[in-house]
């Protein structure tokens, strides 16, 4: 993967701009700075290696050289998207899931931001915003997708089992350029539907552990256990307790696990 192979592969999608790095701290940091200095809508930052890749709450995200897709997409939300910014993580997760589906895999979305294949984490999404006063000026959608086996972090870093496309497909995966093109093609289509019930419905249908007992944790503490019922229209998670009372879990520093 290099700048010219990416440009060629993505040319039909008309990205607003493209910055490619052989090695970078974090593509999200580069994209946040670029967005703040006027990057166009649908601009992309892509790196072959990240040395300071981040997950939520500054958890570490591994992107060893030559092994994975580390990409940050800048969106400048228009009037249709503005009322639905909380759905952005779902937009990204569905787009990554669609790209996996196209390869014949059966992806699931572990709310809020993980894409699982065979119950293992293949990709993660990190959405961050650039503010202008009280308004969101732009969104940065960071996506880390494990393509080759070498993308997997050492087991001691993992709180959840990980997977790569190469391993899940059992053969040489498509090029990273092709995977990215498929993710972005899906993203353009889902973006048109961001305000529709269809997006929430598709997100909900793809949820891992739907109908099962799950635990919501903050750090290592279990906050709440219940049956995963579905999503609210803003993308919050709906759980039902033992008395069929519903509770809404909003985004934040929470993670979801199957209940023991
Ligand atoms: C995420 O956070 O899953 C969001 C990851 C977003 C990464 C992209 S890469 C491009 C862009 N630039 C960045 O700097 N970030 C974005 P979270 O749910 O907090 O999960 C983080 C946890 O996933 C870590 O604590 C590890 O346990 C695990 N992990 C780290 N690297 C992994 C990998 N390559 N594959 C699977 N799991 C990993």
Q: How far apart (Å, rounded) are the C-alpha atoms in residues 110 and 88?
A: 15
State the CATH number of the domain containing residue 138: 3.30.930.10
Domain boundary among 205, 226, 244: 205
Q: How many domains does the chain have?
A: 2
CA of 54 to the centre of ligand 1 (A): 6
pTM above 0.85, yes or no: yes
Q: Clarify whether residues 236 and 142 are in a common domain.
A: no
Length of the chain: 260
Which residues have CB under 6 Å of ligand 1?
26-28, 50, 53-56, 59-62, 70-72, 113-114, 121, 124-126, 142-144, 146, 151, 153, 157-159, 162
Q: Clarify whether residues 17 and 116 are in a common domain.
A: yes
Q: What values do phi and psi take at 136, rounded to 5?
A: -80, 120
Q: Clarify whether residues 60 and 186 are in a common domain.
A: yes
Q: Looking at ligand 1, which atom is closest to the CA of residue 26?
A: 14
Tens-digit pLDDT profile for residues 106-132:
999 999 999 999 999 999 999 999 998
Q: Domain range holding 220?
A: 213-258
State the CATH number of the domain containing residue 233: 2.30.30.100
> With helix as H, strand as E and coil as C, how does 119-137 read?
CEEEEEEEEEEEEECCEEE
- What pLDDT is stored for residue 57 in this prediction? 84
Q: Clarify whether residues 127 and 183 are in a common domain.
A: yes
Q: Which residues of 99-129 are buried (b: 16+ CB within 10 A; e: fewer)?
A: bbeebebebbbbbbbbbbbeebbbbbbbbbb
Q: Clarify whether residues 134 and 185 are in a common domain.
A: yes
Tens-digit pLDDT profile for residues 145-189:
999 999 999 988 898 999 999 999 999 999 999 999 999 999 999
Q: How far apart (Å, rounded) are the C-alpha atoms in residues 120 and 102?
A: 18
């Amino acid at each position: 993967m290099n700048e010219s192979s990416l440009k060629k592969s993505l040319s039909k999608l008309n990205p607003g701009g493209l910055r490619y790095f052989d090695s970078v701290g974090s593509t999200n940091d580069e994209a946040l700075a670029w967005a703040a200095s006027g990057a166009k809508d649908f601009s992309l930052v892509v790196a072959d290696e990240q040395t300071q890749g981040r997950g939520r709450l500054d958890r570490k995200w591994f992107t060893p050289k030559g092994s994975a897709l580390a990409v940050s997409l800048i969106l400048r939300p228009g009037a249709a998207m503005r009322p639905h910014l909380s759905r952005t993580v779902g937009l990204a997760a569905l787009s990554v899931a669609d790209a996996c589906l196209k390869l014949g895999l059966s992806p699931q979305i572990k709310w809020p931001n993980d894409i699982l294949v065979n119950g293992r984490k293949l990709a993660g999404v990190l959405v961050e915003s650039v503010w202008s006063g009280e308004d969101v000026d732009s969104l940065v959608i960071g996506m880390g997708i494990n393509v080759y086996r070498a993308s997997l972090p050492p087991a001691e870093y993992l709180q959840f089992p990980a997977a790569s496309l190469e391993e899940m497909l059992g053969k040489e995966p498509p090029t990273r350029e092709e995977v990215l093109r498929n993710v972005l093609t899906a993203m353009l289509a889902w973006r048109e539907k961001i305000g529709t019930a269809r997006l929430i419905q598709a997100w909900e249908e793809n949820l891992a552990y739907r109908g099962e007992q799950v635990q919501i944790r903050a750090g290592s503490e279990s906050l709440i256990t219940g049956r995963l019922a579905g999503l609210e229209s803003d993308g919050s998670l709906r759980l039902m307790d033992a008395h069929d009372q519903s509770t809404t879990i909003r985004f934040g520093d929470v993670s979801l696990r199957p209940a023991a």
